[in-house]
A and B are shown apart, each in its own frame.
Chain A
Amino acid sequence: MDKFDVIIVGAGLAGLSAAYVLAKEGIEVVIIERGDYPGAKNVTGGRLYVNPVRQYLPDIWDDAPLERHVTNEMVTMMSPDNSVSMRFRSDKFDQKPYHSYTVLRATFDRWLAAQAEKAGAMLVTKNRVDDVIKEQGKVIGVVTAGEELGADVVVACDGVLSFVAEKAGMIVPGQPRNFAVGLKEVIELPRTTLEDRFGLTGDEGVAQMFMGSLTQGRFGGGFLYTNKASVSLGMVVGIRDLIERKPGVEVHLLLDEFKERPEIVPLIKGGEPVEYSAHVIPEGGLAGLTPLFGDGILVAGDAAGFSLNMGITVRGMEFAIASGVMAARAIIEARAKNDFSASTLSCYQQFLENSFVMKDFRTFQHTPHVLDNSRFYGYYPQFAGKLLEDLYTVDSGPKAKISDTIRKNLSLGESLRMGKDLLGGLKI
């Protein structure tokens, strides 16, 4: 059995970040990826916040092939027949270093992999890891395409529902409520058309969130990000709601209906869909995290559950990068002691605890519970839409006082429930 210092399973952001840091240290690291190239199978909604991770991969951001820096934040509440939007633009977001970019993973991951390879990492694509090799409870390698490869440490970066962590006996299959499914289309538009449609100058970009009737009352929402010459449009829906809520619906039909909304049609008109992807997303927050380390093994990125619904954003890529880097640092420490047992590798958890990763997970630990409230996806968007519709409608008769219009739309019982949701919302 050929043996290497470190085997990383999965060339996503966690795996590539770990490989990059390890290779820079001169450590012999192999990345095994099942896609045709890194990024071929990786899915994101589409935006990366650079500030939290700038220090973890300090030298890469100037050259990274990112799309547009986000200067415009939009939120849209959708009802079946109306919508309420808010658009926020800030000069601050247009100042370098930009804090957030839209990103296409097929481009970015391939580039990051090239950086890791330049640093000395060995990348094997088109190969799936089928099993982990254990000896006396300790992970000592993996099996891929019938071959055994040994390593001091295996890092499971194989994404949500991590097969490697499961084979290593670290996790049990998950609960539907801890997962959502995301669907996305990348729709190509000529650059100038896109900039005119979205009111963008130069490389500025827009990020738009949608909630309400598009998920038909289910946990989730829609998103739209502008790339350089394309739009990433998609939605995320909670898997438990998809299973349990009646009448059932096929999730891709929800996306099709969303695309037919008059709010969306003119934005993508004439565009050519060039990519369609779907992926499971961990949404369990702190409670959904898997064990992070074992004898000879670390788990990073989505594989560990490092994706967090923070109310107005769902973030995963920053946690993936940071956890990958910290896994690498833990391995460097373990090598210094020449001890790859769980107790030495546990410093990975400590590194994470001291970083924004676990701090964010603790801060937002109640978010999944608070957001698990169908009123956010049905009642509130409809209330806002109906209220504005009434306020803006001028009928043939006399116009009601504004306060009366509000009162008509909001009964005492609803105000109380709203107060309760608001109190719950204070937890996040």
Chain B
Amino acid sequence: MNIYVCVKQTVDLQQVRIRKETREPVLDGVPLTIGNIDKNALEEGVRLRDKLGGKVIGVSAGSEELNDTIKEALAMGADEAIMIIAPELEGAESSTVAMALAKAIEKTGEIGIILLGEGSSDNYSGQVGPRIAEILDLPQITYVSSLEAEGNTVKAVRNLEDCFETVEAEMPVVVSVVSEINEPRIPAVTQILKAGRKPKQIYSPAELGVEIAGSQIKTISNLAPEQDRKRLLFQEGVGQDVKSLVAALESEGLLGR
């Protein structure tokens, strides 16, 4: 049985800075990594494999750099990787990515569980999981905060914010997880070194019969929130300044709440 874990290559958010003048994120040259919640999905996949046996297969679509980025998934415990590589797949919209991932998964063998993060680190559309389920005609369980598998059945707790829902489904099944499901491991050095030698299968969209249509979604604006600073400077001496500061904070409704 194969456990597929879909991961997305995104810029490392910790390394992104905002250009003050324009409030635009500076994305040029920022190191790439796999999405944060994707790591939870991977961790869950590895945990299930250790219990149920089978293989964990990392699946991802993106640019050439994916060859490097995917090593993170392999170092975390994936046994092999499937990549769909084309320049136009980088940042492609959810419908295209879901189609590419689904077709690649379909092509490669027996599906047990397809795991994803609830949303990607960058766009967070949360669409790819449900779309894959639809394309492959599989049951789906979203926002999973706890997952157990027994035989051919999975039992999942969905975190719906105001309540928890426990559901069961037969495999094959698509499951998207939330970040509290587990604590992703930090890969050991020897695992990182071995990652480079694990099997990798690369497809082009054409090989999977996936057409990359023109984008239907237009990004109108991508700006950091405006930080409107008060720029108050108190320089009358400490005694007076403390009083002025407190008064200023009170007038903003920030004290004595």
Contacts and interface: CB of A to CB of B under 8 A. Distances in A.
Interface of A: 2, 30, 32, 36-37, 107, 110, 117, 122, 124, 127, 144-145, 147, 149, 272, 274
B56 to A, nearest CB: 21
Contacts of B29: 107
B31 A36 contact: yes
A107 B29 CA distance: 8
Contact of B189 (A37, A110, A127): A127
Interface string B13-30: 011010111000000010
B17 to A, nearest CB: 7
B219 interface: no
A389 to B, nearest CB: 34
B2 to A, nearest CB: 27
Interface residues of B, number: 17
Closest 8 A-B residue pairs measured CB to CB?
A124-B192, A37-B31, A147-B189, A2-B190, A144-B189, A124-B189, A122-B193, A272-B20
29 contacts: A2-B190, A2-B193, A30-B193, A32-B189, A36-B12, A36-B14, A36-B31, A37-B31, A110-B31, A117-B68, A122-B196, A124-B189, A124-B192, A124-B193, A127-B189, A127-B192, A144-B189, A145-B186, A145-B188, A145-B189, A147-B188, A147-B189, A147-B190, A149-B189, A149-B190, A272-B19, A272-B20, A272-B21, A274-B17
A70 B190 CA distance: 43
B189 to A, nearest CB: 5
A110 B188 CA distance: 22
A36 B15 contact: yes
* Centre residue among B68, B186, B190 by max chain A CB count within 10 A: B190
A152 B34 CA distance: 34
A145 B20 CA distance: 38
B197 to A, nearest CB: 9
A186 to B, nearest CB: 12
Contacts of A145: 186, 188-189
A127 B191 CA distance: 12
* Centre residue among A124, A144, A149, A274 by max chain B CB count within 10 A: A124
A398 B115 CA distance: 90
A34 B15 CA distance: 16
A253 to B, nearest CB: 19
Nearest to A270: B21
A117 B29 CA distance: 18
Contacts of B188: 145, 147
B250 to A, nearest CB: 33
A264 to B, nearest CB: 20
Interface string B109-140: 00000000000000000000000000000000
Contacts of B21: 272
Nearest to B19: A272
A39 to B, nearest CB: 10
B243 to A, nearest CB: 29
B30 to A, nearest CB: 10
A274 B17 CA distance: 8
Contacts of A107: 29
A122 B192 CA distance: 9
Nearest to B20: A272
A147 B190 CA distance: 8
A145 B186 CA distance: 10
Nearest to B12: A36
A126 to B, nearest CB: 8
* Centre residue among B15, B20, B193, B196 by max chain A CB count within 10 A: B193
Nearest to A65: B29
Nearest to B15: A36
